[in-house]
Amino acid sequence: MKSVVKYSILEETDVKLENGFVANLGEREVKMPNLEDIRSRRAGLRMMLIASFSCPLAACAMQPHQIETTSLADFGSAATQVSKQAELAFIDANQTVRRASIEAFIASGALGLNDSSFDTAMDRKTITDWQRIFSALEEYSSNLASLVSDQRAEESATSFQKLGNGIVDGQLGRFTGLAENGTTKSALGLMSQWAGKLMAAKTQQSAREIMLDTDPEIRAILVHLGDAIGTADDEGLRGMVASAQIKKLAPLVSQYARAAAVKDVALQSELIERFLVQRSKDQEQLDGLATVRRSLLRLADAHSAAAQGKEVSLAARLDEISENLGTVKALLTNDATNNEAEMAAED
C-alpha cells in the first residue's frame, strides 16, 4: 500500500513565476508513493517560496544603486543652483554696501576719490573662490556618476585623486579671500580634509562608500559657508547688508528731519511712506540671503541623504533647492542685479 499524506500546498490558481516554478492556491489530498518523494516535493516547495520572495528582495538590494545613478546628476545640478543663488546674493549685497558707502562719502564732504573710499561686501576674488568650491562639488558628483553608471573603478579613483590634488594645489592658495569677508580660515582646513579623503579613494570603493566617507567634510564645508551668510540678520553677510541698509537711508532720514523742523506735514507723510516701503524691501533682501543659507544647508542634507540611500529625503531636499532659486531671484534680483550678473557671466 502506498502511504497517503495530507499537507497544504498552493493550488487552484496557477501562478507562473519568472524562475519557472508554478504555485497553486488551495489545499488538497495528495498520494505519495514514498517518504523520499514527499521530501523531494517539500524541498521543491521551499525553493519555490524562497524564489518568490527573492525577486522583490533583489529589487530592494538594487535600490541604493538606482538612487545613486538617478540622483547624482541631480546633486551636481543642485550644487550649480546653489552657486547661482550665492552669486546673486553677492551681487545684490555688493550693490547695497556700495550704495551705503557712496552716501557716507558724500556726507563726509571729502574731495578726493579713490577705491578705498567705497566698500564692497564680497570682492570678485572672493566670489570666484566660492564658485571654485561649487565647481569642485560638481566635478565630484560627475565622478561619482561615472563610477556608478560605467563601473570604471580605476579611472574613477584616479579622477577623485586628481580632483583632490587640484583642490590642494590649484585652489587652496586662492581661498584667502574667504577669510577676509566673514568666512573664517577654517574653510581652508575643511577643504584640505575633503581633498585628503578624495586622494585616498580606492579603486574597490563604491560610490556610496566614497559618499559616506566624505559626507562629514562636505557637510562641514557647506554649513560653514551657510554660517558665513549669517545665521541671523545681524550676523555674517546678512549683518553686513543690514548695517548698510540703515546707512543707505541716511539722506532720507536727514530730509525727514528737515521737514519735521518746519512742520511740513505733507512731506513728512511722503517720506515716512518711502521709508516704510524701503524697509519692506530691505527685509526681502535679508530674507533672500537667509534663503541662500537654507539652500547651502539643504545641499548638505541632500548629500547625506544620497550617501545613506534615503531617496525620499533626497528628493525633498533637491526640490527645495530648486524652489529656493526662484525665491532668491524674486527677492534679490532687480535690473541692476541682472545687468551685473550678465556682465559677470560674460567675464
Report the residue count for the chain.
347
Mean per-residue pLDDT, 56-75: 52
Are 69 and 215 found together in one domain? Answer: yes
Q: What is the pLDDT of residues 98-141, one digit of tens each?
A: 999 988 888 888 888 888 888 888 888 778 888 888 988 998 88
Whether residue 337 sits in one domain with residue 279: yes
Average pLDDT over residues 263-283: 95
Indicate if 152 and 47 belong to the same structural domain.
no
Same domain for 213 and 244, yes or no, is yes
- Please indicate, yes or no, whether residues 247 and 192 belong to a single structural domain of this protein: yes
Domain of 34 in residue numbering reads as 4-56
Q: What is the pLDDT of residue 185?
A: 52
pLDDT of residue 148: 64
Q: Which three cell numbers stand for residue 110?
A: 571729502
pLDDT of 47 reads: 45
Same domain, 163 and 49: no
14 and 139 co-located in one domain: no
Q: Which of 290, 310, 304, 302 is nearest to 78 (CA)?
A: 302
pLDDT tens-digit readout, 117-127 = 888 888 887 78
| pLDDT for the residue 45 | 42
The answer to whether residues 218 and 298 touch, using CB atoms and an 8 Å cutoff, is no
Please return the burial class of 334, using the count of CB atoms within 10 Å of its CB with bins 0-12, 13-18 and 19+.
exposed
Cβ neighbors of 49 (< 8 A, separation 6 or more) are: none
Q: Is the pLDDT of residue 321 over 70?
A: yes
Q: Which residues of 163-179 are buried (b: 16+ CB within 10 A; e: fewer)?
A: bbebbbeebbeebebbe
The total number of structural domains that make up the chain: 2
pLDDT over 70 for what percent of the chain? Answer: 66
Residues 195 and 248 in one domain: yes
Q: Are residues 70 and 195 in the same domain?
A: yes
Question: Looking at the structure, do residues 48 and 109 belong to the same domain, yes or no?
Answer: no
Domain closes at, from 24, 40, 56: 56
Rounded to two decimals, the pTM is 0.72
Count, in order, helices (H) and strands (E) of the chain: 11, 4
For the chain, what percentages of helix, strand and coil (3-state, to nearest 5) are there? 80, 5, 20
Average pLDDT for the chain: 74
Single out the residue in 38, 56, 74 at which a domain terminates. Answer: 56
Q: Which of 28, 56, 84 is the last residue of a domain?
A: 56
Asked if pLDDT for residue 243 goes beyond 80, the answer is: yes
* Residues 130 and 164 placed together within one structural domain of the fold: yes
**Residue 231: what pLDDT?**
92
